[in-house]
Amino acid sequence: MFSQLSRIQSLFKLVQTPLVGMDVGSSTIKLLELSCNQGTYQVEAYANTSIPSSDTPASPIQEAVFDVVRKATTQRKFAALCISGPTVITRVFQVNANFTDEEIVEQLELEADHYIPYPLEEVLYDFYIDRNAEDHSNLSEVVLVAARRECVESCLDALSLSGLKASILDVDRFVMERAFKLILNQLGEQAIVQNTAVIDLGASVTTLHIFKNARSIYARDQTFGVKQLMNEIERRYGLSNRDAMDLVKYGGLPEDYHDEILQPFKEVVTRQISHALQIFFSSSEESAIQSLVLAGGGACLSGLGEYVEEKMGIKTCIANPFAEMQISSNLDKNRVMEEAPALMKSVGLALRNF
């Protein structure tokens, strides 16, 4: 049975070749290159580009990937990409601590239907033994990740025109866990043992991540994002999507924008966060969140952090994974810092080098 299931072999392997982190979102693609010198990271290259709208989505994504690689002028030839969404499955199960990889695969053969709710011929997978898990006597915890083959292939197809090759396919929750460790100092000394919610507010999807002891314990997507705000701006003022995005980012919208469009959107965002947290509480033994971090492109909206903190009564900050990094003199430091909340995934992917 398990012979129908193919191993990705690139989720958890060690990386020997320098790579860039590439975050392929629903509306933008972001590329980031990091270096590390004596424990200090530096941003060496960065670029982003919008994905043009089209009735045939594959070609615009490929063109956007080609464009972002050109803009970044990186010399690296390999990339780490992220697979995410409801078709990506993460499961944790226990095996005998003395099991080899081959014996773990044999156990998966026997129980694949239990772990993977898709036809096995449509799935790619990888796994690793979690050495940091709590001691279970003679047992080890194994983290299994399975993804629909089409999800993986779409990531690989996106690189076909760019000159880059996929070295790593990573998973959203592990990528964010890696990046989360860079923002712990923003949250205070107690953050590492407390429950922290990271809200990744993207264009079309918002993801709630819960971290405890600096590890991901929960992740859930919901179909909601900044695109709703942009659609209303476009409709209200007769703007193109690009013009709407630029005016939101750099200012210049009419005076009624803040009260009649932005403020209602902040209220909706806060309700969405509250609803997502209630779902988390109802499905776990946890009952409180001590701090909240806003990430993603939506985190940069004017005053959103302060509004969420006031309405929810939870300490809230805007993610900045570059707070303790250096920025190459070849880059616009102000621009990189402005984009920082939206680059959590890109950072988490680029960190696979180290």
**CA atoms within 13 A of residue 173's CA, in its CB half-sphere:** 22
Domains and CATH numbers, the chain: 1-86+152-183+320-354 (3.30.420.40), 87-151 (3.30.1490.300), 184-319 (3.30.420.40)
Based on C-alpha coordinates, what's the Rg of the chain?
Answer: 21
> How far apart are the C-alpha atoms of 343 and 349, rounded to whole Å?
10
Instruction: Please indicate whether residue 296 or residue 64 has the higher confidence score (pLDDT).
Output: 296
> How far apart are the C-alpha atoms of 318 and 297, rounded to whole Å?
11
- Write out pLDDT tens, residues 284-303: 999 999 999 999 999 999 99
pLDDT of 326 reads 97
Buried b (16+ CB within 10 A) or exposed e, 121-150: ebbbbbbbeeeeeeeeeeebbbbbbbbbbe
pLDDT higher than threshold 90 for residue 321 = yes
Q: Mean pLDDT score of the chain, rounded to an integer?
A: 86
pLDDT higher than threshold 70 for residue 333 = yes
Least confident of 62-71, 101-110, 239-248, 283-292: 101-110
- Write out pLDDT tens, residues 76-115: 999 998 877 777 888 878 888 888 888 888 887 777 777 7
Look up residue 149 and give its two tokens: 């083959």
pLDDT higher than threshold 50 for residue 5 = no
pLDDT of 68 reads 92
The answer to whether 185 and 323 have CB atoms below 8 angstroms apart is: yes
pLDDT of 58 reads 54
Q: Where are the alpha helices (DSSP H) in the chain?
A: 58-72, 101-115, 149-158, 172-180, 184-187, 227-237, 241-250, 257, 263-282, 304-312, 333-339, 344-350
> How far apart are the C-alpha atoms of 9 and 272, rounded to whole Å?
36
Helix and strand counts by DSSP (H, E) for the chain:
12, 15
Q: Which of 113, 139, 128, 110 is nearest to 7 (CA)?
A: 128
Look up residue 344 and give its two tokens: 């959590």
pLDDT, average across residues 303-326 = 96
